[in-house]
Structure 1
């Protein structure tokens, strides 16, 4: 089952890559080939580390990409660099090159590639964020320098609701010792966050308040939030069926994967989260930040299938003995939460 899943993942990613790159096939065949190779490899490397804490570490992405596909990735990068040297006026090519270098841990090269892309599309908020983050990762201590901070502020000006931009600006302010400014930036972000994310951010705000010599936050300073999904997200509640839990002995180290995939489409997820069994019941929000593939995001779909899987092995791939909730099909955007019950008999 695992091998078949990976084959389907690769084929689906290849199809998406070919579709995205199709306009380049005639005029820039080398760039077309590089994109078709790199997008599936990047997607596969990201999927292999879905949901693990190490997935937040760029070095983990680099290790996964290097271990699996280094020769093919390196050749694709070489082809893409040659094409961009021939015709540098291809911002999406530069963006892809930046992502590929970042995945392999080549932070300085990623920084330069994103900067080249910005020369052609300077007002793209997501590109500005990627470029700023790449600059920080190329610096000692992952510091956002003045140019990176200017990119973040520009991204926020173009897209005032961009949560990543606000978060990173607060990080940059903390790095500069501007703790009170970071508090103001992050507290303004709180009302837009789900409950779990807001709770994590409040910890950072408390530390910033202490560093700034400010009093602890009051209830008025930190508005209460719940797990209401944003327009592009999907609120999901996960629980165990009581009868199932009573008759089955569950391993303490078992994990739960919550997955959304395209309805009637390929089996790989467009959003996924990994949680410990003891965290149940869950009340979470799946959104574009949970996507393992840059070319397939939850917000781009009209209908998805959502399920929760209990995995004794802890593997993201479905294995023998895994228990899944009945699949729920959801039309997006969804105003009501999706309830998933693991071990509940299918209707």
Structure 2
């Protein structure tokens, strides 16, 4: 098993090695584009000053003072992305994107493999039992083909559309990812995390432009989930692109206290706030005062006490896999939080929280009510199959005081 995970990690590192230079170069190009944008804004502002001075709206002293301030502001902007901090800022931005990409590739690879692959082959005992078989592990292309065929047969499979969208995003096929997430959005209804995933895919397919449908989806998502960090971050970017600098400031200032444990992210938000404040001033609008931010609620969790019914006890082997999970009442069946144990660990008590989130952005704390379940898998597979033993309770209200008594007492037909 250890060798399998070492080889998998090595393959992922090789893949990341191909995309790392592009990501780091992209951050440098972004800094260059920002410098050009600052220069253009400064020139436009200078032209306005010259017109006002020529028209007599500004005295010579006021004209010279305002022009000096404009030149100093431009110099500060260029220096912040130049030798003193630009390289470091670009490097940090590239490293943040690279880190996010690494986590994204790992999550997408594991999710697709668990859904379409045969993770039970990692177990040496299963390998020995199947040595007589000459079957090979499927390639990424084969798994993608299998997933597409499954979706053709069952277009209502929300989890399948989610995995397809995530895989296309990892492969940078943003149009295909947007198509998959759009299908998922139609099936799942108004779930903020799905709307944000769709908006991100649409924006990436348009070269980063969030105007139009991406902005509409983001605004709707942040209305439904006003404490969602991803929603606040993207909402600020969408409003900033639209020229609504005051609204962008509101979103980013609301987001900042939530990032207290992440200095790099806090610094990045500070920079976004500073740029938006300068843009707001340059537009001639009044500065927006900061609003006091309410305390951020502590993380929520559900305590699950799991046991096996006496009638089914004789059918269970201690080495069989036990999955304890919480999933949304509606929408994708991908677990919001999950723990994997052995059947021999029963009875047991576990805590389900955001710490066990399977997918970034799909957190337990974002859903008011969930389904809590436990399943014993005969094949050690994360996907439910006929013959598995199951117990579920729903709806369960998500809160720190939630305690669920869960009994595995049925067999999946």
TM-score, with length taken from structure 2 = 0.41
More helix by share: 2
